[in-house]
Amino acid sequence: MMRFLLLFSRQGKLRLQKWFTPITEREKKKIIRDMTTLVLARQPRSCNFLQWKDLKIIYKRYASLYFCLAVENQENELLALEVIHRYVELLDKYFGNVCELDIIFNFEKAYFILDEFLMGGEIQETSKQMVNRSIEASDMLQEDDSSEWYEVELFG
Amino acid sequence: MSPSVPLQEMIRAIRSARTQCEERGVIQRECAAIRAQFRQSDNGGRSHNLAKLLYVHMLGYPAHFGQMECVRMIASPRYSEKRVGYLGAMMLLDEKQDASLLITNSIKNDLSHSNQYVQSLALCTLACMGSAEMCRDLAPEIDRLLQSSNSYIKKKAALCAVHIVRKVQDLGELFVPAARSLLSEKNHGVLHGAVVLITQLCERNPETLKRFRKVCLVWFFLQTVPDLVQIMKGLIISGYSPEHDVSGISDPFLQVRILRLLRILGRNSESASDAMNDLLAQVATNTDSTKTVGNAVLYETVLTVLDIKSESGLRVLAVNILGRFLLNSDRNIRYIAMTSLQKIVGTDHNAVQRHRGTIVDCLKDQDASVKRRALELSLALVSASNIRSMIKELLLFLSSCPPELKAQATSGIFIAAERYAPSKRWHIDTILHVLTTAGGDVRDETVPNLIHLITSASELHCYTVHKLYRALLTDISQQSLVQVACWCIGEYGDLLLKGECQETEPVQVSEDDVLDALETVLQSHMSSSATRGFALTATMKLSTRITDNVDRIRSIVSIYGSCIDVELQQRAVEYNALFKKYDHMRAAVLERMPLIEKNNSGNANGEATRETLTETNSSRTAQEERVPPPPQQQPAKQTYDLLDLLGGASEPLQQSPAAQTLPIITSSSAGGDLLDLLGGLEPTPGPVTPAPSATVYEKDGVTLTLSCEQQSDSSLAVTLTATNASQSDISGFTLQAAVPKSVQLNMNAPSRDSLPAQGAAQLTQLVMLNNPNKVNLKMRIRISYTRQGSAFQDMVQVDSLPGLGAAGHT
């Protein structure tokens, strides 16, 4: 099972956090600090896997964002790399050439996409097309439902 | 009041703030506006207000005032509001918050909503933050959804069921039939969910199962093995499927999950393992390993093969795949290869030995993670036949080793050298080499161990003392090395002065040179107090071994009679006395030490636990967590005084009481046998008796037991254990303690804060007490917890702690 997924920039600013187990706010802050320190200290061409407490940390850098995924000890690290890559592909398809700014200004969309791909610490859907279709349908449902005002703010 | 800025404008405003202070100002204004908006009735802008709050929360600012708004928005009929409301619930609420209970009803309603996207929101939120109560409440609903015809909902319901089973293990039985039938689905998402659910059901904690007298479901799901094999075959053989293809592999995520489930099912079953053999061989040979994806599937296959009862041909294939991984240019692949080889180095030792060369090469890799794995694996691969070459490589590694690995490396080398040393001389050389390279990171008992080794190698005394003398001249900063060198020079100084030695080039050493060296150590600011002690005693011992400069020794010793360091002062004064009043005894007192008997048993000092040699590799973290009991200095001092008069100072005695962290081989404080002659003086912390415990509180099914352990003269470790034998779960269990005024109290964090029903788990909390004034020890404990929604509080007074006698005195 996956324990948490963090996205942060090269300066250590958090862009997305998804926790798959209940943790107190204080713990979360501590973990975020630890992760950013650990990952940002790594050399450019080093191994993508770390051991931290009793979890395996898999991280990958995409442009200016670090994707950091923590899994339990019996998980397959190489597959975790693929999970991160799949999420990036989904974001890319949705936003069209996604960059960090997209995720900053549309963070709630990033969460909605994540919630269609992963759930309860496990992969929910293995087909890219299915995830994309679900997101599009949900967005349309939201559009039908809302007034003009939303269209401007949330889809801007 | 300034109008609230739309979400993206707010984000822009925050980002353009140039200082932290400015940013805080913008955010405070925004939060104030949001709070005001929340208080108003539905104004159409609710969801984007909440979205703004969530952004602010992500930046790290407090957002708890949004919790009730989330609850309200989830109940709204509008999809847009529900969506953001549920997102807010997942971010701001967790099962520990009270507000989370309020959304149970909304979730229940939404689970039967007509629109599947609304249902999916509810399922997602339940799987993310559903508490045990919510899970129990909604489990039948989830089971119903598992049997619906909508595959979109089915796959989500499956993962929701996984969460439920994780939270409330005994609900697993409810989902068994549905899980079984889901395996015949065609939809990959549903299949994946079904495989994960079955895996979870099979992995349920056996302890919990026993308590509820439930059956382990592995035997039930063994019947699914043929189906799983069929599905896998379909994935491997079938043609290109664009929907699930990843670089030529068809749905690698599903393949890996199926392989993992097969691993669990085949672990203890011969027949299941047989059924999978062909499939595993097929996957292992046919999977394309040029991309990470392929390697991920191969990796999982290898792990499965090595874990089930596979035939030997398949095992060889698996280890060969790992060998190929080791040669891969990708660091990640090499890392996981070594991790896997570490798991099987015990069972398939020879197979792993074949790859020793590559593994040793990985020691030189730049990457810290790879280095660590290579070190662990190399240490596991050392054997009698390759000891010389392996230690050579490891010593090379030690010189360029990153600091966090040094301690592990040194202790590993020592263990290996101890086990397989081809000759004593080699052994001594190796230890000396380690001490010169990484003397600062070796364990405390290295010094007594080395001294023991040297005394037992009587033919090498000459060689050893020459080597150590030379090492001393070059560098006096490595304390362990200096200590051993001083001791040796003291003992075997006469051999050093004789000058001839077969094994090293002869060098003329005069008495003055030797005394100069020892004096340098004595006066250097780099020397620790213990080291100076060694040096002073060595100087003293030389008084019987040299002829000309006895006066010099006398003067050195008398100078230290007024040293600030009490230890040195005491020694110097005693030695002075030896010169003046007991000169006739001096030769006898300072003669050569006899061979010290080393106590090899694990429980030498009466300590409760010791790690074995094989576990040392993986025990680095345990090493850091282990708290050494405070050293008993007093008895040690007494015995030291007695020893001094009887038969030569034994300096190692000073070191060992303090060195309680994971000793590899415990040496009783050197001279232990001499102590036995004196009549059983205990130089080390008193024997540990099993801690007596007493039940101090029992009410409503909640039991609290207390056990004490005397750590030292005034400190006491009290362990509180709580169990819940009632029918309902307890959450928020906290203990508070009060003690009499002069006693100091330190409470460690409890092991958990909830107590599941029927004693499924127990809670322990360690309390450290310090009672320097030796007052009568009493303790008042307040217990508070929540059960079935209502809070309970109770207080109990403990007048006498068990194991301390009626008066509570130590």
Which segments within B420-487 are labelled E, that is strand?
Answer: none
Segment holding B619, helix H or strand E: none
Tens digits of residue pLDDT in B545-583: 877 878 888 888 888 888 888 888 898 888 888 888 888
B341 with B377: CB under 8 angstroms? yes
In chain B, whose CA is at the least distance from the CA of A23? B94
B521 with B531: CB under 8 angstroms? yes
CA distance A132 to chain B (A): 12
Q: Which of A74, A105, A128 sits opposite B8 (nearest CB)?
A: A105
| C-alpha separations of B236 from A79, B293, B520, B650 in Å | 17, 13, 74, 71
**Is residue B637 pLDDT above 60, yes or no?**
no
Residues B325, B336: Cα–Cα separation, whole Å: 8
A57 with A51: CB under 8 angstroms? yes
Q: Using the beta-carbon criterion (under 8 Å), do B162 and A120 form an inter-chain contact?
A: yes
Q: Which of B83, B295, B332 sits opposite A47 (nearest CB)?
A: B332
Tens digits of residue pLDDT in A13-59: 999 999 999 888 899 999 999 999 999 999 888 899 999 999 999 99
| Probe site for chain A from B15, B116, B117 (most A CB atoms < 10 A) | B117
- Confidence tier at B598 by pLDDT (50, 70, 90): low
- The predicted model gives B334-349 an average pLDDT of 88
Does any CB of chain A come closer than 8 Å to the CB of residue B300?
yes
Does any CB of chain A come closer than 8 Å to the CB of residue B296?
yes
Q: Which two tokens stand for residue A31?
A: 């973990």
Output the pLDDT for position B85.
Answer: 92
- The predicted model gives B258-278 an average pLDDT of 90
Q: Residues 50-89, chain B: which have Cβ within 8 Å of A?
A: 51, 54-55, 58-60, 78-80, 83-84, 87
Chain A hits for B51, CB-CB cut-off 8 Å, are 108, 154
Q: In the predicted model, what is the mean pLDDT of chain A?
A: 89
Residues B485, B613: Cα–Cα separation, whole Å: 27
Tens digits of residue pLDDT in B198-252: 999 888 777 666 666 666 778 788 888 999 998 999 888 877 788 888 888 899 9
- The predicted model gives B169-175 an average pLDDT of 87
Task: Find residue B512's DSSP bridge partners.
Answer: none
CA distance B409 to chain A (A): 18
Segment holding B293, helix H or strand E: helix B292-307
DSSP A87-128: HHHHHHHHHTS--HHHHHHTHHHHHHHHHHHEETTEE----H
- The predicted model gives A65-91 an average pLDDT of 95
Output the pLDDT for position B512.
Answer: 83
Q: Using the beta-carbon criterion (under 8 Å), do B128 and A79 form an inter-chain contact?
A: no
B692 phi and psi angles, rounded to 5 deg:
-70, 145
**Is residue B32 pLDDT above 70, yes or no?**
yes
Output the pLDDT for position A150.
Answer: 42
Q: Using the beta-carbon criterion (under 8 Å), do A82 and B127 form an inter-chain contact?
A: no
- The predicted model gives B158-186 an average pLDDT of 91
Q: Is B593 left (phi over 0), alpha (psi -120 to 50) or beta?
A: beta
Task: Find residue B706's DSSP bridge partners.
Answer: B694, B720
Output the pLDDT for position B246.
Answer: 86
Q: Using the beta-carbon criterion (under 8 Å), do A150 and B47 form an inter-chain contact?
A: yes
Q: Using the beta-carbon criterion (under 8 Å), do A14 and B58 form an inter-chain contact?
A: yes
| C-alpha separations of A115 from A9, A36, A82, A109, A119 in Å | 21, 23, 17, 10, 6
B485 with B468: CB under 8 angstroms? yes
DSSP chain A: -EEEEEEEETT--EEEEEESS---HHHHHHHHHHHHHHHHTS-TTS-SEEEETTEEEEEEEETTEEEEEEE-TTS-HHHHHHHHHHHHHHHHHHHTS--HHHHHHTHHHHHHHHHHHEETTEE----HHHHHHHHHHHHHHHHHHS-HHHHHHHT-
B258 phi and psi angles, rounded to 5 deg:
-65, -40
In chain A, whose CA is at the least distance from the CA of B46? A150
CA distance B562 to chain A (A): 50
B698: amino acid identity, one letter: E
**Is residue B798 pLDDT above 60, yes or no?**
yes
**Is residue B663 pLDDT above 60, yes or no?**
no
Q: Using the beta-carbon criterion (under 8 Å), do B60 and A29 form an inter-chain contact?
A: yes
**Is residue A137 pLDDT above 90, yes or no?**
yes
In chain B, whose CA is at the least distance from the CA of A89? B246
**Is residue B748 pLDDT above 60, yes or no?**
yes
Does any CB of chain A come closer than 8 Å to the CB of residue B368?
yes
B675 with B769: CB under 8 angstroms? no
Q: In the predicted model, what is the mean pLDDT of chain B?
A: 80
Does any CB of chain A come closer than 8 Å to the CB of residue B258?
no
User: Residue B808 gets which letter from DSSP?
Assistant: -
Nearest to B359 by CA among B344, B388, B339, B387: B339
User: Residue B751 gets which letter from DSSP?
Assistant: S
Beta-strand pair A122-123/B245-246: unpaired
| C-alpha separations of B669 from A5, B185, B205, B484, B672 in Å | 51, 69, 44, 16, 6
Residues B641, A47: Cα–Cα separation, whole Å: 56
DSSP B109-154: HHHT-SSHHHHHHHHHHHHHH--HHHHHHHHHHHHHHHTSS-HHHH
